[in-house]
Amino acid sequence: MAPRCWPLYGLRITTPRLELRLPDEELLEELVAVAASGVHEADDMPFGVPWTDGGPEKRARTTFQHVLGTVAQWQPEKWTLSLAVLHEGEVVGRQDLTASDFAVTGEAHTGSWLGLAHQNRGIGTEMRAGVAHLAFQGLGARTLTSSAMTDNPRSLAVSRKLGYLPDGVELAAVRGAARTLQRLRLDRASWEAHRSVKVELHGLEPCRELFGVARTASA
């Protein structure tokens, strides 16, 4: 897909093992297949919105609509960047970065998942470090937030490693039951102090307007 009218298709975040990019039609096909293959065990539900319920076909369609919906609904004042995560050229999961009034607050929120076969190999840490770099280094963020069920040790471990601090809890009704979410917060100083993944950004300048932030003076 030509990125001319939608420069976000030209944005790339690279880490030592990964590339994160807005999926074109071909990569979106791969991403929905990963979602269909499973993101967690059936008796588990790590998400506040249980989008993974309902079987492979429904997961595929939900993922397809989610990614295209983020493009269709994008506004500089309210956006979600929904990136496919590629490991050795293969799509393994999704990493989202969401913000409302980012130009004013400097705050964005992350959410992510990997296909079951790709979990617990450090990929989740590397992809979150990638979007944290985009937020802080690329877009000048002040804070990043995240949240995870209190019984999701992997997600909580990723946040802890990257320097997020606990920021209270909240309850959510999930599958008709009350679940506790741990809120997490990463400020710029803590991000700097915990940076350990080398990240590069490519193709960001033409996207700045869409993110609601000014172009850099040199661009």
Binding site for ligand COA (CB under 6 A): 39-40, 46-47, 112-114, 119-125, 148, 152-155, 157-158, 161
- Nearer to ligand COA by C-beta: 15 or 152? 152
The residue with its CB nearest to ligand COA is 124
Number of H helices, E strands in the chain: 7, 9
Q: Around Cβ 98, how many Cβ atoms within 10 Å?
A: 16
Q: Which of 21, 7, 1 is nearest to 201 (CA)?
A: 21
d(CA 98, CA 96): 6
Q: Supply the minimum distance, in Å, between the C-beta of residue 144 and ligand COA.
A: 14
- Nearer to ligand COA by C-beta: 37 or 216? 37
- Nearer to ligand COA by C-beta: 44 or 101? 44
Q: Which of 172, 178, 153, 177 is nearest to 49 (CA)?
A: 172
d(CA 88, CA 39): 19
d(CA 28, CA 91): 9
Q: Supply the minimum distance, in Å, between the C-beta of residue 141 and ligand COA.
A: 19
Q: Supply the minimum distance, in Å, between the C-beta of residue 160 and ligand COA.
A: 8
- Nearer to ligand COA by C-beta: 95 or 213? 95
- Nearer to ligand COA by C-beta: 76 or 119? 119
Q: Supply the minimum distance, in Å, between the C-beta of residue 44 and ligand COA.
A: 8
Q: Supply the minimum distance, in Å, between the C-beta of residue 69 and ligand COA.
A: 19
Q: Supply the minimum distance, in Å, between the C-beta of residue 162 and ligand COA.
A: 10
DSSP codes, 125-166: HHHHHHHHHIIIIIT--SEEEEEEETT-HHHHHHHHHHT-EE
For the chain, what's the residue count? Answer: 219
d(CA 78, CA 82): 13
- Nearer to ligand COA by C-beta: 20 or 158? 158
